[in-house]
Amino acid sequence: MTIRALKSVRRFPLTLASLALLGFSGTAVQAADLIVLESRGINLKPGQTVNSERPLALKQGQHLTLISPAGVTLKLDGPYEKAPAGDQARGVPVAKALQMLITQRQARVGEVGTTRGLAPNTLPDPWVLDASRAGTVCLRDGSAAVLWRPEAAKEAVLTLAPADRSWKTEAKWPAGSDRITVPPPAIIKGGATYLVSLNGVQSAMKVEGMPANLANDAMRAAWLADKECEAQARALLRAGK
């Protein structure tokens, strides 16, 4: 497999004030449109649209997590039978969702697939996947995976394999490049876990898919935060400043 390296880019610091910013640019969507983030026991899939002004019926045991155009996450559990528009005020804004995620991370003491309470690396772009640490990353549907490393001064040997080790590929990551693209046909895709090794140091990277129909950055940031792609959510907030 051929892997193409990209040049390093300048990094910008994250400010705490940016966590409260919701004034992102992006394509406008109708105020009534909510996007399904998660569903259980109901025939709605992530990425589908729900009209907030129409009655929604959930039976006991059914669950929906919805995202509004403002980036507010709303969790609904059955029994429920009304239009969700009236409940959006009790949803969680993306800045608060990120703060809750940070609190949860700091409380961890070394779960499998996490780094023990350490803050994630500051990403130069919200759509690069940190190959240097174990954890969860989000990949937009239809996009090629772009891996990133914080230390790019020296050449590195990159090894990729799925968790079931059904295949394995290796490439040299050139010195001076902090990004490396896995070109189509895509090997890395949402809904799977991969073993990423840099110079023999291996970590597990869980990849969550992100639907392409999230219409603005507020919705994308909310999706990233809910899927625990904290570093990417913070990078997106920073970019929208």
| C-alpha to C-alpha distance for 165 and 189, rounded to whole angstroms | 15
| C-alpha to C-alpha distance for 104 and 230, rounded to whole angstroms | 11
Q: Minimal CA–CA distance to 162: which of 138, 186, 127?
A: 186
Q: What is the pLDDT of residue 24?
A: 36
- Number of neighbouring beta carbons within 10 Å of residue 154: 10
Q: Minimal CA–CA distance to 108: which of 97, 98, 119?
A: 119
Res. 127: pLDDT tops 50: yes
Q: Tell me the mean pLDDT in the region 146-159.
A: 94
Res. 59: pLDDT tops 70: yes
Q: What is the pLDDT of residue 43?
A: 92
Confidence grade of residue 169 (pLDDT, cut at 50, 70, 90): confident
170-191 pLDDT, tens digit per residue, is 889 999 999 998 855 558 889 9
| C-alpha to C-alpha distance for 66 and 219, rounded to whole angstroms | 10
Q: What is the pLDDT of residue 28?
A: 37
| C-alpha to C-alpha distance for 162 and 148, rounded to whole angstroms | 18
SS3 62: coil
Confidence grade of residue 5 (pLDDT, cut at 50, 70, 90): very low
- Number of neighbouring beta carbons within 10 Å of residue 207: 19
Strand-pair category, 63-67 with 146-148 = unpaired
The pTM of this model reads: 0.79
Pair 128, 161: CB distance under 8 Å:
no
- Please give the angle made by the CA atoms of 200, 203 and 205, to the nearest 5 degrees: 135
* The total number of residues written for the chain in this structure: 241
Q: Tell me the mean pLDDT in the region 22-37.
A: 56
73-98 pLDDT, tens digit per residue, is 999 999 999 999 989 889 999 888 88
CA quadruple 176, 179, 182, 184: dihedral sign = negative
Residue with tokens 């990403």: 123
Show me where the domains of the chain are located.
4-16+94-239, 33-90
Q: What is the pLDDT of residue 23?
A: 37
Which amino acid does the sequence have at 167? W
SS3 59: coil
Give the start-end residues of each E strand in the chain.
Answer: 4-6, 33-40, 49-51, 56-58, 63-67, 73-77, 80-82, 129-130, 135-140, 146-148, 156-162, 169-173, 179-181, 192-198, 201-210
Which amino acid does the sequence have at 22? L
175-234 pLDDT, tens digit per residue, is 999 999 885 555 888 999 999 999 999 999 999 999 988 989 999 999 999 999 999 999
Res. 13: pLDDT tops 90: no
Token pair recorded at residue 18: 């940016």
Q: What is the pLDDT of residue 18?
A: 39
Res. 56: pLDDT tops 70: yes
What average pLDDT does the chain have? 82
Q: What is the pLDDT of residue 10?
A: 36
DSSP 9-45: -------GGGGG-----B----TTEEEEEEEESSS--
Q: Tell me the mean pLDDT in the region 51-55.
A: 92
